[in-house]
Amino acid sequence: MLGAVLEDLLTHALDAVWMVDEDGTVRYMNPAAEALCGFDRSELEGQPLARILPPEVAAVHDQHMRHFAKQGPRFDVMGKVRDFSIVDADGKLIPVGLRAFEVPPQDGRRCFGAIMRDQRQQKRLEGERDRLLHRLAQQALTDELTDLPNRRAFVEELERVLAASRRSGGPASLAILDIDHFKRVNDTFGHPGGDWTLRAVAKLCRAALRGEDYMARIGGEEFAIVFRGTDLAAAQTVAERVRQKVEQTTIQLPAGGEVEVTLSIGLAAFEIDSDPDGWLAAADTALYAAKRGGRNRVATAERAAEVARTA
């Protein structure tokens, strides 16, 4: 069928080479094709190519072949390398890079050739690269100590919530939380005890939040919560639940000792002219009011404004 020189070239080719006629029948496959699919050429030559195609591809492949034979090559497909898959003798899906082209007719039938390059290693490397990039992106947005989003991630979320609330006109609220007298924890139990306490407080807060609430660590002992679609009254209810959860829990340190801490929380509602800095400043003012009011309490921005006026 093939000249001796061409036969020799194809026999030693590194890539899998196939020839298929207009009916989708395999007319030739080289040794590399045998190695790729796991079938001996005697098992596939004279058989439908559909035997090594995924079912969803096999269902339409013959139709495409007849179309090419009738209408002539589609040059937007033929000659270009594209992602493809075949099924090997063990039923496993093998990703390949496929280049299809027309070859001289055989026995009066139009024929098409295909060069397939095994892409399994490439796909594995791409998957590892994507997983690594995802981990790096997550690390860049995650606080290593508490596993909460960090300040950078928090600011991005704040901007998203602001944009969504401006579009919809819906409510949103922001809380800033600070652990009261945290320096005493570090002074008494050292930084390992302080770090354990920060992690414990983060877990307690998350346990008291709703699924849609977004919490981040934005400073040393300072956290923030964004309440999507939540007005100030509803946010205050959740913030109070968070405060009580922390107040009522005794944290057991792994090195021995117990820690009891409380939270001061400042709340501010979204306003149509809010920007991230202004919204943060309003919540921070409320937090300052909570601390001036005796700590271990929730203060809202309205109350904070009253404190500021009377200070």
Active-site residues, by number, are 221
Using alpha carbons, select from 143, 141, 171, 170 the residue that is nearest to residue 156: 141
